[in-house]
Structure 1
Amino acid sequence: MGVKIEIFRMMLYLSFPVAMFWISNQPEYFEEYVVKRKREICPPDEDIRRKELEDFKERMRELREQRLLKQAGLASKE
């Protein structure tokens, strides 16, 4: 009886994670839960958001250029 119960427990221990992995990786599940949730959290780009992001990138680029020019100017004077 001991060997049979151990075989049953081993099958249970191995089949549960495999079954959960198989279920969670089904495309229907992925589309329904993961993709829809992602779209709720991060909606598709809107023109206003895209413009704000581009403006922010441009400001950061200008600041970085100014900082690099300042550092280069200080280094050349020394």
Structure 2
Amino acid sequence: MIYNGMPSSQLGQQDWRKSRHSNPSGNCVEIAALPDGRVAVRNSRHPCGPALIVSLEAMAAFLRSAKDGEFDDLLDEVEK
């Protein structure tokens, strides 16, 4: 059974990937498409750490919002 907060290592062999915009310091988010259609999200610095599991629909809504700039205000702190 796949559930939120489970160790990523218990998800089996997955094709984890991260953005080409990720920086070399290791502060990256990785995602993997799961066989049941959901999406797993984890911190790349902790590959055996917990994974957040979301529906494909929830991930699609998040990505659309990010593309539309709905979270750009969070970048203000990073760019200071």
TM-score of the two chains, using structure 1 as the length reference: 0.27
Structure number having the greater helix percentage: 1
Structure ID, larger Rg: 1
Identify the structure with the greater strand proportion.
Answer: 2
TM-score (norm 2): 0.26
Say which structure, 1 or 2, has more relative contact order (CA 8 Å, 6+ apart): 2
